[in-house]
Amino acid sequence: MRSEAHEVTPPFSSNLVRLSIREWLVVLLVLVLLGAISGPLWNRVESYSWAADYRIPYGSSEDYWLFGRFCTEVVGSGKTLVVGDSFVWGQYAGRAETLSSFLNQETGVDRVRKCRPGRVPPLGP
């Protein structure tokens, strides 16, 4: 003899997870904390070694994270940033032909670094 159990059918709903206000606040807090620590943590995990005559390539000129990191590390090391020499010298000048390179050659000290923010086109032909 078989006993038939009375089955309770749940009301129709989507597969959505339903959270209370308190649970949503916890989710929001966790996401904010993850967002806040991911940048500094990534700076420690990913290391860069900048060449003495490093220039941010034109293809990466809209990578503002790379730009900010480069500027922070250069200024933190006591170097001087030259911004905007591409307007005068042209962005297609070789690494040894930039204003920062000439200033380093003239002073005999590796003190100046080139830094170009954003996608800035050259003025000359």
Cα 18 from chain centroid (whole Å): 35
Tell me whether residue 35 is in a domain: yes
- Give pLDDT, residue 3: 57
Tell me whether residue 57 is in a domain: yes
Q: How confident is the model at residue 1 (pLDDT cuts 50, 70, 90)?
A: low
Range of the domain at 111: 21-115
List pLDDT tens digits, range 22-47: 999 999 999 999 999 998 888 788 87
Tell me whether residue 47 is in a domain: yes
Q: What is the pTM of this model?
A: 0.55
Tell me whether residue 36 is in a domain: yes
Tell me whether residue 122 is in a domain: no
Q: Is the pLDDT higher at 98 or at 119?
A: 98
Tell me whether residue 10 is in a domain: no
55, with CB counted inside 10 A (0-12, 13-18, 19+), is: buried
Tell me whether residue 6 is in a domain: no
Tell me whether residue 11 is in a domain: no
Indicate the number of domains in the chain.
1
45, with CB counted inside 10 A (0-12, 13-18, 19+), is: exposed
